[in-house]
Amino acid sequence: MAEAGMELTKWSSNSQAVANSILKEFDPRIDVRDSTKINRWGSLGKAIRIVGWALRFIGNCSKKQKENSPQLTIEEYATATKQLLKITQGEHFLEEISSLKTGKSVTKASSLSKLAPFIGEDGLLRARRRLNYSDLSYDEKFPIILPKCYLSLLLTRDTHLKLKHAGVNQVVSTLRNQYWIIRLRTLAKRVKRECFPCKRLDAKACQEPMAPLMEARLKQSPPFSVVGIDYAGPIFCKNAPGQKFMYCYSPVLF
């Protein structure tokens, strides 16, 4: 090989930079909380559907009989909604939930102390009202507590659209049948203010500036310095003896 002008060289070993660039093996973890970044979603329906599909994927990974329907079922939709509510409550009311689970009541310093909160049968944080013995539904008697957050904003916006762009009072009254949202009226006013169709319908007509008053109306002058005359009529007059009608015209001085 040397006589032919060819030299053998040793293969160069991999440099440290190349060795460090090799991808390391990792184990991905699936967590529903990572899928609930609802700040990225613009509607309540989209947020619930994304969580619902994530829950179905997790369920299909652990079940032998898999769910393959092209649409989410009613049960899956309700489960996804409940999961969103639980995660939101856990992020904002963790201290209150921990106290209630240990049998303690919330502290007076908590913003929920006046609501007498408790954990309901479905594991959600609910408020006590004075309607325990009424014939209303469970959600109406014990509404779900939610903070003033993005999920509450989506709920308010969704209700506003379902009610055909209803006003603030109607949106608040409808949401109170199921949820007790902190500062709900403020959210309802914000949704109404940011809604483009409502802006167009509630727009006020522009007012043209009025012309300046006449000089004769502003300066003092003797009576009858400026006089106008007109007439009014016809005025029907009845003559009593002969029962006749006459047309009269009367001059008007102003």
Backbone angles phi, psi at 61, to 5 degrees: -75, -20
| 157, 192 Cβ separation under 8 angstroms | no
- Angle (nearest 5°) at CA 124 between 119 and 126: 60
Map residue 156 onto helix, strand or coil.
helix
Distance in angstroms (rounded) separating the CA atoms of residues 145 and 113: 12
Distance in angstroms (rounded) separating the CA atoms of residues 162 and 171: 10
| 84, 151 Cβ separation under 8 angstroms | yes
pLDDT tens readout for residues 173-191: 999 999 999 999 999 999 9
Distance in angstroms (rounded) separating the CA atoms of residues 89 and 86: 5
* Packed helices 150-162 and 168-175: angle between N→C axes, nearest 10 degrees: 110
Distance in angstroms (rounded) separating the CA atoms of residues 237 and 208: 44
| 160, 151 Cβ separation under 8 angstroms | no
User: In 3D, which of 201, 186, 128, 131 has the Cα closest to residue 153?
Assistant: 186
- pLDDT given at position 15: 54
Distance in angstroms (rounded) separating the CA atoms of residues 35 and 166: 32
Backbone angles phi, psi at 23, to 5 degrees: -65, 135
Q: 179-181 and 144-146: which strand pairing?
A: parallel
| 188, 168 Cβ separation under 8 angstroms | yes
Spans of the chain, pLDDT less than 50: 18, 22-23, 26-30, 32, 34-36
Whose tokens are 């970044």? That residue is 37
- pLDDT given at position 28: 46
| 143, 174 Cβ separation under 8 angstroms | no
User: In 3D, which of 178, 172, 148 has the Cα closest to residue 160?
Assistant: 172
User: In 3D, which of 141, 147, 149, 144 has the Cα closest to residue 179?
Assistant: 144
pLDDT tens readout for residues 38-61: 778 888 999 999 999 988 888 888
